[in-house]
Structures are given as C-alpha cells and as structure tokens.
Amino acid sequence: MRAARLSASIPASPRRSLRALLPAVAFACAGVAATASAAPAGGSAQVQVGNQGTSASSSGKGKSGKYKWPEVVVSGNAISFLAPLQFGIAGYLPKARFAFQYDRQIRKGHWFHVGVAALFDRGDYHNFRMKSCGLSGTGVCGEGGVVGVDVYAGYTYRFFLQKRPWLVPYVRGTVGYTFFDLPKVGGGDGNRRQERIHTNSFSIRPGGGLRIFPIDQLGLGMDVALPIGFLVHKQLNDAADASVKKKGGFLFGIEVLPVVVEFRF
C-alpha cells in the first residue's frame, strides 16, 4: 500500500526520464565488458588521467624511424673486393694489392673461397731486399715498376653471433701462388742494371677478419693474413752472360686489407 502510494506520488515526467536512461546505462556496461575482453594476452597498458589530460603508454620496443640492424644475413654466395696493402717482413712482396674473391657456403659456418689479385709496386734493389744490383760495371741502378698476379684458395669458418647476427667474425686458411715481374727495372732484360728478372712464390696464409652487415646482403670489414712460404727468383748471372739462374728465399709477410666490401647473393 505504501509503495503504491509512493509510486502514485512520483510525477509522470520523472518516471519517463528514468525509463529513457536505462538503455544508455546498459549500453555503457556492455562497452566496458567488450573493451576488457579485447585486451591482448601478455601485454600491458597504463592510462593516467590527471589535470594535464590523458596519456597512454605500452610495453612495445623501439621507436618509429629508428635504424634497425638486420636480424639475419642471407644467401650462401658472396663476392668481395679487398684492398690495398701487403708487406714482406722477410722477403719481398709488392705493396699494392687489389683482389676480388668469391665465397661459397658449404654448410652453416663452413665456407670455401677462391680469389685473384693484381699486385703493383715501384722501387730499386733496396726495396727488393737485394744487397746490390748484382751486375758489375753497369752504372747507377735506378728504380722501376713491378707488376704481378696472385691466385689463391682456401677455407673459412664464420662465427654466428645469435644476439648480433649482423656482426660476422671469421678465421681462415689460404694457400696461394704469386708471380711478379720487374719489367723496366734498370732498362729491362736487354740492358738490365739489376740482376733480378721475376719472382715466383708459394705460401700458406693463416688469417682472419670481421664483417659488419648494415643490411642483410651488403657487408663492410677488414682482413688480416700472414703469408708464410718461399720465393724463387729468376736472375741473370752477370752483365756479359745472358744465361739465367734461380735463387731461393724465405717469405714471411703480412696482408693488411682494411677496405673490404662483400655482397651476398
């Protein structure tokens, strides 16, 4: 009875207003439930509301536009350009060296490589580690050009760094044959002031290096190797005798190749 009286005492217009608000309240509750069910599993989000407005933050890594290193270095073939220097510590080697090299992946970190290099230098018998010109009565021994070629092949093991796959250190072993000629030193073979004509060399070359890949197919780096072997010089006997002789020597050198560009395909 009392409830009926109370209901009768409420005017008709407020009752209509309450009925109109009920659908809006139900819709808002449904929206909150749907938002909660759509949150990603394992993610985290924080929302702060203050006097300065609303701000949101998430647990995502990185920033848009920031450079990212490649996650993998691709392909099992590579072509490299290597330059520019080598030195003979014991025995002579032409100083300028420009090489092209092909690498083929055998399995995982195991690679095979083969290459060819052009060699250049300029000097006199002091540079060639000779005690003298070797030919008597021929005047001053002048400087001249040296040109040569180097052919080599070997095995490389490349290390895989799981956290930094774009950084590739390696060790390698190489065997090679080198030939260089002294075509214009002292006037050439016809009127030669220096006894040495050309040199052959066989060597093993333990070494290693590093590649850095700013993108997944292009790498930059450096190589260092230690040629160890022997030299065979072809020389004239003396100024009046056109016959030649061969003279051997020990080789220990170093290849310093800081300019290395590698392209994988």
- The Cβ of residue 82 has, within 10 Å, a number of other Cβ atoms equal to 23
Among 101-115, 151-165, 226-240, the minimum mean pLDDT is found in 226-240
pTM for the predicted model, two decimal places: 0.71
**For the chain, what are the domain ranges?**
77-264
Asked if the model's pLDDT at residue 53 lies above 70, the reply is no
CA 123 to chain CA mean position, Å: 33
Residues in contact with 45: Cβ distance below 8 Å, sequence separation at least 6, in sequence order: 39, 56, 57, 58, 59
Closest CA to 161 of 211, 111, 215: 211
Tens of pLDDT, residues 3-32? 444 444 445 444 554 455 455 545 554 454
Top-ranked range on mean pLDDT: pick from 130-134, 189-193, 223-227, 242-246: 223-227
Among 55-69, 82-96, 191-205, the minimum mean pLDDT is found in 55-69
Say which CATH class 77-264 falls into.
mainly beta
In the structure, what pLDDT confidence band is assigned to residue 41 with cuts at 50, 70 and 90? very low
State the DSSP H helix or E strand holding residue 6, giving kind and residue range, or none if neither: helix 2-9
Three-state DSSP at 143 gives: coil
Q: Which residue has the higher pLDDT, 22 or 97?
A: 97
Among 4-13, 183-192, 238-247, the minimum mean pLDDT is found in 4-13
Report the Cα–Cα distance between both ends of the chain, in Å, rounded: 92
